[in-house]
Amino acid sequence: MTDTPAAAPAGRPGDAPGEGCPHLHRRSFLRGAALGAAGAAVLGVGGIAADRAAASAPGTGASGRRIAFEGPHQAGILTPQQTAASFVSFDVIAPDRAALRDLFRTLTDRVRFLTAGGTPPDVGVASVPSDSETLGPVVPSDGLTVTVGVGASLFDGRYGLAARKPARLAPMPVFPDDHTVGSTELHGDVSLQICADSRDTVMHALRDIAKHTRPGMQINWKADGFRAAPRPAGTPRNQLGFKDGIANPDTADAAVADALIWARGGHGGEPAWADGGSYQVVRIIRMLVEFWDRVSLHEQETMLGRRRDTGAPLDGTSESDVPDYAADPDGLRIPLTAHIRLANPRTRATADQQILRRGYTYDRGVDLDGNLDVGLLFCCYQQDVVRQFETVQGRLAGEPLVDYIQPTGGGYFFALPGVRGAGDYFGSGLLA
């Protein structure tokens, strides 16, 4: 849960109705309102021009941070993690490829405006408001990023895209120790990773996007998370009490990012349009904290391979210390079955298997048995999901930690290349 975000575990159990039919009437009304008010946006009619003008207004309020929207890669991948996040999966219901293109254009327009911030267009009191105003009359940029991905199911037969599918994009398999059978939180046609410096900014962005894109896609499942402040310093902790994500690769080094994160269009079977994208893995990993809290500190640290107080590897003194496995071939200091050792053996042969972890803590209350439903929304990005994430998962199968964590959902997605200019849109290369 530290050197491969709790994620590594990726698969382990151990990595409103009234009388009669009034609810039907309400549902019909809401559906009609969505198709009427939002449909025009998805079809590229009305509202968009005003929103584009508003996008030029500076973001205000909240953190005041504005993260660039345009570029060769999407924001939200290498971007330092914000405080709040939602991972949302959608089913695409656009009737044909032209409507799918309109959907992605509308999605681009909304994300461009929301991440820039500004004043929504005034449509008059007799019209449906252009914004919910849950953030006030001026939408703050607030460090917002919206990272758009596509799932393998979008490449079925509906839109004639099968020949354009990213080479390694497939439905996420069931790994040993997974608890995903019967889960309703798996896969999807489109994914959004929405992150911001405030929880309500994330909520507002999702609500806006869902409103404007409803005729083209609808929510399948959603998972919300938060990133705790470092306690007392350094890397934040997960719900097992250990620092999580210490050993991420240094993607500030462009050569490292090119080797580990970004897809290379035209190489290794990747279609040319995929250049600059990245494979995203999302895992909903429940942590059985009631059981974990009955385990001795020594056993906890042995399972993870790190000190709980400092985050240091068991052969070191600080969280930034690099474990020296070569000097401990028999696992006398850091057991051979320790999570950090299995996840990242730190050998020359495994150097290209590193992943960029971007996890968040979740809290879903209690289950039917009265147990806490808390854990990790594990997210990672990589150039090759088979070479990287799946290889790590294979090493983690059966690790001691599987008795205390249960992966219950998630999916594989391909984060699209970035939007490069005012006339560009998400998936333009895919849909051209």
> How far, in Å, CA of 128 to CA of 32, rounded?
13
369 phi and psi, to 5 degrees? -95, 5
Helix %, strand %, coil % for the chain, to 5? 30, 20, 55
**Per-residue pLDDT, 21:** 39
DSSP string, 118-175: BPPP---TTS--SS--TT-SSB--TT-EEEEEE-GGGGSSSSS-GGGS-TT--PPPPP
- pLDDT tier, 12 (very low <50, low <70, confident <90, very high otherwise): very low
Convert the pLDDT of each residue in 130-184 to its tens digit.
999 999 999 999 999 999 999 999 999 999 999 999 999 999 999 999 999 999 9
Banded pLDDT at 1 (limits 50, 70, 90): low
Better pLDDT: 18 or 173: 173
- At residue 37, the pLDDT reads 40
% pLDDT > 70, the chain: 86
Q: Is the pLDDT of residue 50 over 70?
A: no
Tokens 């799946």 belong to which residue?
Answer: 390
Mean pLDDT (whole number) for 189-205: 98
Higher pLDDT, 37 or 110: 110
Q: Do the Cβ atoms of 274 and 263 come closer than 8 Å?
A: yes
The pLDDT of residue 42 is: 38
For residue 47, pLDDT over 90 is answered with: no
350-377: pLDDT as tens digits: 999 999 999 999 999 999 999 999 999 9
Torsion region of 221: left, alpha or beta (phi above 0 gives left; psi -120 to 50 gives alpha): beta
**Is the per-residue pLDDT at 347 higher than 60?**
yes
User: pTM of the prediction?
Assistant: 0.86
Q: pLDDT tens for residues 251-305?
A: 999 999 999 999 999 999 999 999 999 999 999 999 999 999 999 999 999 999 9
Q: Which residues does 80 contact at the CB level (< 8 Å), separation at least 6?
A: none
CB 115 within 8 A of CB 51: no
Inter-helix orientation angle 97-116/199-213, to 10°: 150
Q: Answer yes or no: are the C-beta atoms of 407 and 399 closer than 8 Å.
A: no
Mean pLDDT computed over every residue of the chain: 89
Q: Identify the residue whose tokens are 């009427």.
A: 36
